[in-house]
Amino acid sequence: MSRSADLAGLIADKSTAIVGEGGDATTNLQQGLAKFWHQTNASSGTPATQDSLNLSGITDNGVGNFTFAFTNNMGNNDYSFTHYGITSGYYSLYHGASLSVGTSSLQYRDNQSPSLSSAAAIDHTHINDTIHGDLA
């Protein structure tokens, strides 16, 4: 078989296991890829995305409160996501009380303090989210 035929077979299979760095364990390529990520600056009051994957748009719901819409929906709302927001002197490592995890979007409110959900909201200079899970 040619390399192009091998690659075509892997793509058509829809489930590709590859050998890990150690040479013994395998991992599923589709499961190991991020399905959504972005880096956004909201410090001006209007969110501006510098780069992204699977982001179709952002709704500004108020200070520090954003809804990120997906270009391609997730298969369910049980996906894993990681978030951080940072502005000089303030950071957010969690989502405040306005959290909404959906198959077509993710919505949250960034607070100035990582320990108080009632802390003042903030439009961070750097907002980053990454999602791992199944696409629909």
What would the pLDDT profile of 8-46 be if each residue is shown by its tens digit? 766 666 677 778 778 888 777 777 789 999 999 999 999
d(CA 28, CA 64): 36
**Mean of the per-residue pLDDT values of the chain:** 84
The CB-based long-range contact list for 84-91 (8 Å cut-off, 24+ gap) reads: 84/126, 84/127, 84/128, 85/110, 85/122, 85/124, 85/126, 85/127, 85/128, 86/124, 86/125, 86/126, 87/43, 87/122, 87/123, 87/124, 87/125, 87/126, 88/125, 90/122, 90/124, 91/124
pLDDT score of 11: 65
Domain boundaries, the chain: 1-32, 35-132
Which amino acid is it at 132? H
pLDDT score of 66: 93
pLDDT score of 36: 97
Who contacts 44 (Cβ-Cβ below 8 Å, separation ≥6)?
123
pLDDT score of 83: 87
Q: Are 131 and 74 in contact (CB under 8 A)?
A: yes
pLDDT score of 68: 96
What would the pLDDT profile of 82-112 be if each residue is shown by its tens digit? 888 888 877 776 655 568 899 999 998 887 7
| Rg of the chain, C-alpha, whole Å | 18
- On the question of pLDDT at 2 being above 70, the answer is no
Please tell me which residue, 22 or 113, carries the higher pLDDT value.
22
- Token duo for residue 39: 């880096």
What would the pLDDT profile of 55-77 be if each residue is shown by its tens digit? 999 999 999 899 999 999 999 99
User: Can you tell me which residue has the tokens 């200070």?
Assistant: 63
pLDDT score of 94: 60
Please tell me which residue, 124 or 5, carries the higher pLDDT value.
124
